[in-house]
Structure 1
Amino acid sequence: MSAERPLFPEPLGEAEHQTLLEWIRRAYGLYGSWQTLWLNGKPLGRLSPQWAAQVVKDWHGEVNENADGIALNADSWLALGDGLQHLAFEWKRLGLLHGWRDERFDVCDSDGSVLFALERAAFRPLGLLSHAVHLNGLTYQDGAWRFWIGRRSPHKAVDPDKLDNLVGGGISSGEDITAAMLRESEEEAGLTAQQLSGLTLCNRMHSLRPVARGLHNEILHIFDVILPSEVRPENLDGEVAGFELFTPAQIVAVMAEGAMMPDAQLVTLDAFRRYGLLRPEHELTRLLQEMSRPVSAA
């Protein structure tokens, strides 16, 4: 390895900057018609017209509709969480809710305090804020820095067969951010805690984009790792079809083709920004910085 920190000789060209800028403008933002979902008085989610009607129809407890949105109330956060879990299970039974994982994510307030846990498949329909970890993997080979890029299994419920970061996955209920990163790294890429001993949190980004199942509303906790050239990632859990090394130019090409999953593309562009591949004064860099959140935040 020629350096401890990746160094690239020059930033991407103007045409590449513009292509990526147009993509990020199309892909991200809260566009369309949405209603705020209030839970016990807190604005915690966003509902499309379809899911708003479904919630009003199927919620078994107290529900109020007004100009501020749709409000669900229960005697406690535990009771409200149980009610939403039951609602989600009913939607699954009726064939309305897909991608059931039997895995729960934490629903938190604006201060990061956990209110209750809920099946992860319900987060997009309800527009609730989830958290995920992503790992940019870099290595120095043949005189140049390259990125390890994974290809998602064709059997994945979300973005099957798309290109991905070296590692990415949701943070389960009660799980620490670093613990989640280490777990996902072992499962998805066969990387040990020793190989990731220098792992540091580089950035957080807020991913907000409409999707087929509702609203993807997620904080991406971004880590980078520099791997020795002899290390080859190897998937252990069947969720990744394989890994390849890409130069930045090759990554931009597949991004332009729409071959990379959106959040993986966003996380990779964040690494591009931090390693000098994006011009600081460009609108693309400004938008990426606007989507960033303080690393010290919960």
Structure 2
Amino acid sequence: MASDARIAKLLADIEFCHSAMLPGERLPLFAGPDRFGYVRPALAERLRALAPDIEISSAGVRMPRALLPRLNELAAALGIPTRAEDFDVRATPEGEVLGVLDRGALPSFGVIGVGVHLNGLVSRPEGPHLWVAKRAANKKLDPGKLDHLVAGGVPAGHTPFAALLKEAGEEAGLAADQARQAREVARFRYDMDRPEGLRRDLIHAYDLELPETFIPRPMDGEVEAFALWPLRQVKDALLDSDMFKFNVVLVLADLLLRRGLFAPDEAALLKTALYR
């Protein structure tokens, strides 16, 4: 694939993460003055059937704040598949916690989801390498896709860094004292239409330098295998294939930019698309 076409492909993958236009066909979802999500009109009507004090107008869907503790109950009554993991509900990523909602219901309600991704890096004489994970074939979302050494959501009541430490041990057998050396390098916000609904995500990206002696171990069944790739191989896979999970593309593009693996003209295009 020619160089220009390869960069165009990566730019399209980045733009794909910003595919949702808001509100678009959805209605803003409010609790009191706080807009915390977006729902499709048909779902709004079903919500009102469950809770008649919900108001629907062209300006949006308004529920009393007293309904916030019942979000999981409403999701279950609507038959939305759940994942037995609550996330904090906020109007903005840094705002106050309004309630909790099961992770599986976030896309249906258009609620912000916060996640963490870790670049597990190894310095070798021949150049920098990155640990790459292959997602298990039985994962509900993006089975078999390539992922980071550590990646996951931030559960209710956790800070992003606390979630990173938790996921590091659960997913890769990474000791807490090692994981604590990770440093945050970037954040990415995107609004994306996906088969499961509207993804309004914030990703906290971290770098961690690991010794050559560290070998990750699949611990919780979410990862099928790990492999240590030269960064050049990571770049080629990113430019020439769809092997990586959709949001991993953002974090890896940032990593490769920071490591100077793109020509100046390519880097300028990618920075404009990535850092918005």
TM over 0.5: yes
Change (3 A) 1:26 1:180: closer
Query: Is residue 2:232 matched to residue 1:242?
Result: no
Q: CA deviation at 1:83?
A: 2.4
- What is the rounded CA distance, in whole Å, between the counterparts of 2:252 and 2:30 in structure 1? 34
Please list, as runs of the form range in 1=range in 2, the aligned pairs for 1:4-43 lying within 5 A after superposition: 13-31=3-21, 33-43=25-35
Change (3 A) 1:73 1:197: closer
Which sits farther off after the overlay, 197-206 or 212-221?
197-206
Q: Counterpart in 1 of 2:272?
A: 286
Which sits farther off after the overlay, 126-135 or 39-48?
39-48
Q: CA deviation at 1:14?
A: 4.2
Residue-by-residue CA offset, 1:228-281 (whole Å, 9 max, x unaligned): 112111121111111112233432443342221111121111212222224475
Change (3 A) 1:150 1:115: same
Query: Is residue 2:73 matched to residue 1:86?
Result: yes
Question: Unaligned 5+ residue runs, structure 1?
Answer: 1-12, 291-298
Please list, as runs of the form range in 1=range in 2, the aligned pairs for 1:198-213 lying within 5 A after superposition: 198-213=181-196
Q: Counterpart in 1 of 2:54?
A: 63
Please list, as runs of the form range in 1=range in 2, the aligned pairs for 1:51-130 lying within 5 A after superposition: 51-56=43-48, 58-74=49-65, 79-92=66-79, 97-98=80-81, 100-110=82-92, 111-130=94-113
TM, length-normalised to structure 1: 0.83
Q: CA deviation at 1:18?
A: 2.1
Q: Counterpart in 1 of 2:255?
A: 271
Change (3 A) 1:54 1:149: farther
CA contact (8 A) 1:27 1:209 kept: yes
Q: Counterpart in 2 of 1:230?
A: 213
CA contact (8 A) 2:134 2:224 kept: yes
CA contact (8 A) 1:61 1:72 kept: no
Q: Provide the identity percentage.
A: 30
Change (3 A) 1:224 1:73: same
The one-letter amino acid paired with 1:271 is L
User: Number of matched residues?
Assistant: 269
Q: CA deviation at 1:22?
A: 2.0
TM, length-normalised to structure 2: 0.89
Q: Counterpart in 2 of 1:167?
A: 150
CA contact (8 A) 1:132 1:220 kept: yes
The one-letter amino acid paired with 2:57 is N
Question: Unaligned 5+ residue runs, structure 2?
Answer: none
